[in-house]
Amino acid sequence: MSTTVQIDDKGRIYLPSEVRKMLGLKKGDRLRVRVRDRAILLEVEERNVRKLRRGTPWGAEAFLDAGEALVSD
C-alpha cells in the first residue's frame, strides 16, 4: 500500500483510516520513529509490555503465554 500524506504547520501527519485499521492502531498507541537515509520508518510499539530491571526475579506470570520450549543437546 502506498499513499501520500501532508505535514501540517505543527509538523504532524495524518495516518489514513485504512492504514490505522490495517495496523490495528487506536488512540494513544505509540509509534517508534527511525530515520534511515532519507526514509522515515514508523514502527508500532507493543502494547502492555512491562520492563524489568536486570536482576529482578521473574514470577510465574513471565511464562503465561510462552507455550512449549524446545531443548536440544
Residue 6 forms beta bridges with which residues? none
Query: Grid coordinates representing 60?
Result: 510465574
pLDDT of the residue at 45: 86
Q: Which residues contact 18 (CB under 8 A, 6 or more apart)?
A: 1
Position 57 scores a pLDDT of 73
Q: 1, 33, 37: which is closest to 13 by C-alpha?
A: 33
Residue 25 lies in a domain: yes
What is the residue-level pLDDT of the chain in tens, covering all 73 positions? 788 999 999 999 999 999 999 999 999 899 999 999 999 999 998 876 666 677 777 666 666 665 556 566 5
- Residue 20: give the domain boundaries: 1-49
Query: Is residue 20 situated within a structural domain?
Result: yes
pTM of structure: 0.56
Domain contains 39: yes
Domain count, the chain: 1
Confirm if 3 and 16 have CB atoms less than 8 A apart.
Answer: yes
Q: Please tell me the predicted confidence (pLDDT) of residue 65.
A: 60
Look at residue 58 and tell me if it is in a domain: no
Structure-derived torsion over alpha carbons of residues 33, 13, 1, 49, reported in degrees to the nearest 10: 40
37 assigned to some structural domain: yes
Residue 4 counted as domain residue: yes
* CATH code for position 45: 2.10.260.10
